[in-house]
Amino acid sequence: MPDPDDKVRAQYEAFPYPARDPKDEARRLVTGSPSHPLEIDHYIFAGRRDWSRPFRALVAGGGTGDGAVMLAQGLADRACPGEVVYLDLSAAARRIAEARARARGLGNIRFLTGSLHDAPALGPFDYIDCCGVLHHLAKPAAGLAALAAALEEEGGIGLMLYGELGRTGVYPVQAMLRRLCADAPDGEKLALARRLLRDLPASNWLKRNPLLSDHLSSEAGLYDLLLHSRDRAYRVGEVLDLLAGAGLRLVTFIEPLRYEPASYLRDPALRRMAAALDPPARAAFAEELCGSLKNHVLYAVKASRADDSVARPDEPGTVPVLRDIDGGALARGMPAGGALDAEFGGVPVSFPLPPLAAAILARCDGRRSLEEIRAALPGRPDWPAFKAQFDALYAVMNGVNRLLLRCPAGGGSR
Ligand SMILES: C[S@@+](CC[C@H](N)C(=O)[O-])C[C@H]1O[C@@H](n2cnc3c(N)ncnc32)[C@H](O)[C@@H]1O
């Protein structure tokens, strides 16, 4: 009997994904979610991960190496005696990932070619990344169960699964291409996909979906989006069911505010009604409302885990760490009593900020604790007054995934 993964493996042998050139490592590190070390620490280890202790991570379906390289570089930067195990069906993808690791001088990745269904034999792991892979399996639930079985009791998983509504238009085009050229050689399929794209009428849903551009940037992207032999997409409720089936529970979606109806609603009555829903129903509502969630990025831990795995800004010694932005620069562009303006799925969104937002952000340097920031503010507000302002700022900045926490026992700011 043919292996059900053969077609998927063949695709990623021919078109390793995403397209990456190891030479580019000299000029930039690709970072993202899931699996940024700050996020892992914040959402799975309550901000208290001691990076001087060994850490084992699995990158399941590691592709051309984005997640494995980011994680391995993060461990190296923290002098963490850790190991990242990279596992993928595709030897071609692995060769690119290996070349990227070599280009960075990273010696902390173990490269394996194989199926994530065999993960339990490689575990246990403190952390497992599985980004954009489960939705390509014949049995995603069995794949996630295998990953859960490879996870330490106190460990966590970072996932990315396709989102159904944000991918509106993809599946009819996939179906058309299958009708025309299911068994043609790859070159012909790609040529035909390009012809069809050029000829899509303005009313076609893919043509009308501004959120999808993967197919425009590379052959691998075009193949992955429109010619994949197997992919499916998920709604929020289905994601939660998938997690529950594997004995996992959701910690958070990233970015959290994308999953809050209030981010998109203006009508006060609707905002109130949506706010009264429980968190899963709010997330499902937000997905239905915005229609723009093309990927679900999330962190999950074992359902049996009793403690809160998330860092909270409750202790004066906690260190707020801004991610990928400079607090000073952000503060300079921010009028007092202003708002954070952003774009979610091409739609402008705006989140009001507390009066001290700019002054606090200017002092968030990844080293100062909340107490040190409070003490350095003009007028030195007392702790309750400061905390109220910080909490309001945190709800926004953490909600857009720019502000994470390191808690005292973890030591330091990384
Ligand atoms: C869309 S790519 C994602 C790559 C990478 N995780 C990323 O986000 O950049 C999917 C990858 O999963 C791999 N894959 C698919 N099924 C797999 C399986 N059962 N076990 C291991 N890898 C698998 C493919 O070979 C491919 O490299």
The residue whose C-alpha atom lies closest to atom 26 belonging to ligand 1 is 63
Distance 215 CA to ligand 1 centre (A): 17
Distance 62 CA to ligand 1 centre (A): 6
The residue whose C-alpha atom lies closest to atom 19 belonging to ligand 1 is 115
Distance 404 CA to ligand 1 centre (A): 28
Residue 411 confidence (pLDDT): 46
Give tens-digit pLDDT for 259-301.
999 999 999 999 999 999 999 999 999 999 999 999 999 999 9
Span 177-191, average pLDDT: 92
Distance 135 CA to ligand 1 centre (A): 10
State the SS3 of the chain: CCCCCHHHHHHHHHCCCCCCCHHHHHCCCCCCCCCCHHHHHHHHCCCCCCCCCCCEEEEECCCCCHHHHHHHHHHHHCCCCCEEEEEECCHHHHHHHHHHHHHCCCCCEEEEECCHHHHHHHCCEEEEEEECCHHHCCCHHHHHHHHHHCEEEEEEEEEEEEECHHHCCHHHHHHHHHHHHCCCCHHHHHHHHHHHHHHCCCCCHHHHCCCCCHHHHCHHHHHHHHCCCCCCCECHHHHHHHHHHCCEEEEEEECHHHHCHHHCCCCHHHHHHHHCCCHHHHHHHHHHHHCCCCEEEEEEEECCCCCCCCCCCCCCCCEEEECCCCHHHHHHCCCCCCEEEEEECCEEEEEECCCCHHHHHHHCCCCCCHHHHHHHCCCCCCHHHHHHHHHHHHHHHHHCCCEEEECHHHCCCC
The residue whose C-alpha atom lies closest to atom 4 belonging to ligand 1 is 63
The residue whose C-alpha atom lies closest to atom 18 belonging to ligand 1 is 115
Closest atom of ligand 1 to CA, residue 11: 25
Distance 305 CA to ligand 1 centre (A): 28
115 lines ligand 1 (CB under 6 A): yes
158 lines ligand 1 (CB under 6 A): no
Give tens-digit pLDDT for 220-240.
899 999 999 899 999 999 999
Give tens-digit pLDDT for 348-404.
999 999 999 999 999 999 999 999 999 999 999 999 999 999 999 999 999 999 999
Distance 90 CA to ligand 1 centre (A): 8
Where are the domains positioned within the chain? 6-162+234-302, 166-226, 319-410
The CATH T-level fold of domain 6-162+234-302 is Rossmann fold (3.40.50)
Residue 378 confidence (pLDDT): 92
